[in-house]
Amino acid sequence: MLALRLARGTHPLVLVRRLLVAAASAGVGFLLLCTLAYASTHPAYSTASVLRLLWCFVPLAATVQFAVAVARTDPSTRPRPGLSAVGLGPIRLGVLAAVSTAVSCTLGSMVALLVFLYLRGDLTGLPFDGAAAGLLGAGAPLPMAATLVLLTVVPVAAAAASAMALRTRPLQAAVPEDGTQDIVPDEQIPAPAVPPTGLPWGVALTAAGLAVEAYASRDGAGRAFPLPGIPDATPTWVLAGWSLTAIGLAMAGPGLTHLCGQLLQAVRPGAVRLLAGRVLMDEARRIGRPLGVVCAVLSAAIAAIALYGTGPRHFGPLTALGAVLVLGCTTATLLTSALEAKQARAHLVQTLLRLGAPASALRAATALRVGVLLVVFAPITWAIAELAALPLTG
């Protein structure tokens, strides 16, 4: 009830982010239901059904990551001084965030069920002259228990991840809209960020993922693996290799971001470069992981375009839906994490402005941070894409 009351009085942009989470949950729920329909209508292809289900975990992971990022930027779940006195400590705020996330994802799952049943013709007959009948297994009965279990996967996973992410979030000072800054005791000011230590492991996992993709890049006939959706040859090891690459880039992202901050401060930095570098070093863990995931997704997209861009399309509408979900959720997660970082340093910006720092210098520091991240991460993304597609195009 408290989560619903807070949702009624929240900012429209926060509601838009929650609706985006619900839309992503609806897309994943629709993919899971389509996998169940395929398994029900093709009992002889049990292996292909399991592989389709495994491919659904890629957009599922992207959706859960996006839901956690939205929960972390929700003003109603942000820890502030004095909330523990009224019973809203870290644990209670984590539960509140989990409930809000579960409500949004459950709404999306219900929408997915209604759309799925409508396209199957279970509500008002087959629409669109039965164009989606074969894809959705129209006419075949669906097990009710399996349907309910699949529809609860996204809400449960997103709620649990949100609760765990917000339980250990540090206390932040509130910045009122009038520009004044609440006085925060010295003991509540965060300590300097510890440099990330996952860069070597991230590089190792990325190299291992590329090696697995190269090993599984060709089947016995020497042909490139098709994208998921083809029942006779689904790239299991390609999925495993890409997953290792994505995990490796996510682990290496904070370390690379920290290195970007150090590069900005090299060779007699000025005030703008020093500010931009220190901010990047402090925010390396917050924006590094989603930035690494975006690099993994973009490298996979570039490799897929290199493989299938000029030839016949080897993917159907469900593969396109999954790709849109992964691209959209990872990009939205990165933007939401950047917004969280902006909220975290709001007190620093207000302090600099009160001390007389020009607003143009702050804007220049922001542009410098974005520029150095593009200069470092864009070549890495392109190189990984070329290495992944080289065994197939060579």
Q: What is the model's pTM? A: 0.83
- Are 332 and 27 contacting, i.e. CB atoms less than 8 angstroms apart? no
Whether 201 and 318 map to the same domain: the answer is: yes
Residue 147 in this model has a pLDDT that exceeds 80:
yes
Is residue 177 assigned to a domain?
no
Is residue 183 assigned to a domain?
no
Whether 386 and 351 map to the same domain: the answer is: yes
Distance CA 258, CA 269 (A): 16
Instruction: Please give the pLDDT value at position 222.
Output: 41
Whether 106 and 156 map to the same domain: the answer is: yes
Is residue 189 assigned to a domain?
no
Whether 218 and 348 map to the same domain: the answer is: yes
Whether 203 and 340 map to the same domain: the answer is: yes
Whether 48 and 97 map to the same domain: the answer is: yes
Whether 214 and 338 map to the same domain: the answer is: yes
Instruction: Please give the pLDDT value at position 130.
Output: 61
Instruction: Please give the pLDDT value at position 186.
Output: 37
Identify the CA nearest to 101 among candidates 21, 12, 204: 21
Is residue 99 assigned to a domain?
yes
Instruction: Please give the pLDDT value at position 231.
Output: 41
- Are 57 and 153 contacting, i.e. CB atoms less than 8 angstroms apart? no
Q: What residue spans of 121-195 are helical by DSSP H?
A: 133-136, 144-167
Distance CA 201, CA 264 (A): 24
For residues 234 and 75, which has the higher predicted lDDT (pLDDT)? 75
Identify the CA nearest to 171 among candidates 101, 100, 95, 90: 90
Distances (CA, A) of 129 to 22, 41, 122, 132, 278: 29, 20, 14, 8, 60
Local structure of residue 86 (DSSP, 8 states): G
Is residue 180 assigned to a domain?
no
Whether 365 and 250 map to the same domain: the answer is: yes
Instruction: Please give the pLDDT value at position 377.
Output: 94
Whether 275 and 373 map to the same domain: the answer is: yes
- CA torsion, points 102, 108, 114, 117, in degrees to nearest 10? -100
Count how many domains the chain has: 2
For residues 121 and 209, which has the higher predicted lDDT (pLDDT)? 209
Residue range of the domain that includes 27: 1-171
